[in-house]
Amino acid sequence: MSKKFNVAVLGATGAVGREMIHLLQERNFPVSALTPLASARSAGKEIEFRGEKIKIKEATTSAFSGFDIVLGAVGSGLSRELAPAIKASGAIYIDNSSAFRMHDDVPLVVPEINPDDAKKHNGIIANPNCSTIITAVAVNPINKLSPIKSMTVSTYQAVSGAGAAGPIELQEQVKALIEGNPVTANVFQYQIAENLIPHIGSFLDNDYTDEEMKMQNEGRKIMHLPDLKVNCTCVRVPVVRSHSISATVITENPVSTADVAAVIADAPGCKLYDDKANKKYPMPLITSYQDIVYVGRIRKDLTNDNGIALWCCGDQVRKGAATNAIQIAELFL
């Protein structure tokens, strides 16, 4: 009989936490007992898992005894606060926040790319940023042809990337516009309906945001490319689900579009979706609620002989967060 695991989901009532619980069931993860953990205001409420009602418990430093795996879906501050207690309990902590991603002793893992890194953990394994995961799954196959030296990236990030309140705000704004009522913005800096906001995260001294710098810093660690340079612009768009990314990849040596298409078609976690004659290319509507990164619009860069341009889309709540975390846990089955 295969081993079963006592699993806790930290942040069980948030968008990613709920998706994690759903995916544990969908992927038939061998759960012996599931414990949902959340804030004091959610403690005592119930969630359903495999046909049973399970009470949510409060996430405190004394809540982690007896778990094999803790899946984290909370902010970086709370993650840093609770991580020592999780490590002391002996559980493996798979953390979706940014708290530990760049720590030297914490693996940053996308299972299709660097699964062996997970085995080097010291109690914590970090789940990368959602856009980084989707982009890395799409472009990493190119490394088989020639090492990637740099990338110019623009992300088109869905409102659900800001949490469960994002889609609600978009829908309320659309309704207000249709009815001729005033539009209010609380989740985002500005009205997102009928708009694009070229600002996600906090601005840094180099005029990029911390969200934009994740693409370079995390990409280096995941793809084992310590000198990778990435120029990134992150944009919030009025799409409910699935992030889209435009990437121009510069390799050490020239590569052909045919070879790039072939390695992407053969790569785990990727689907080559590139048929110009039939207008087939990745879009949020066809990539939501599933776990594959769709890649298309593959073409030569017209400004650099060693450049390849492509477009990819993936569900950022699933592959960009919850699914990737479950896939990391599956490495220990």
Strands (E), 39-113: 46-49, 52-55, 57-58, 69-72, 92-95
Please report the pLDDT score of residue 1 as a whole number: 45
pTM here is 0.96
pLDDT one-digit tens code per residue, 226-257? 999 999 999 999 999 999 999 999 999 999 99
From 121, 232, 243, 312, active-site residue: 243
312 is catalytic: no
Q: Can you tell me which residue has the tokens 């990819």?
A: 312
Angle at 166 between CA 281 and CA 313, to 5 degrees: 15
pLDDT one-digit tens code per residue, 6-28? 999 999 999 999 999 999 999 99
Please report the pLDDT score of residue 164 as a whole number: 86
Instruction: List the chain domain ranges.
Output: 5-128+321-330, 133-316
**Pair 202, 210: CB distance under 8 Å:** yes
5-128+321-330 classified as CATH 3.40.50.720: yes
**Higher model confidence: residue 206 or residue 3?**
206
- Strand order of the β-sheet with 270-272 is 229-236, 148-157, 243-251, 307-314, 293-300, 270-272
Kindly state which CATH superfamily the domain 133-316 is placed in: Dihydrodipicolinate Reductase; domain 2 (3.30.360.10)
243 is catalytic: yes
**Pair 247, 164: CB distance under 8 Å:** no
| Closest-CA residue to 307 (of 133, 75, 132, 151) | 151
From 130, 232, 312, 313, active-site residue: 130
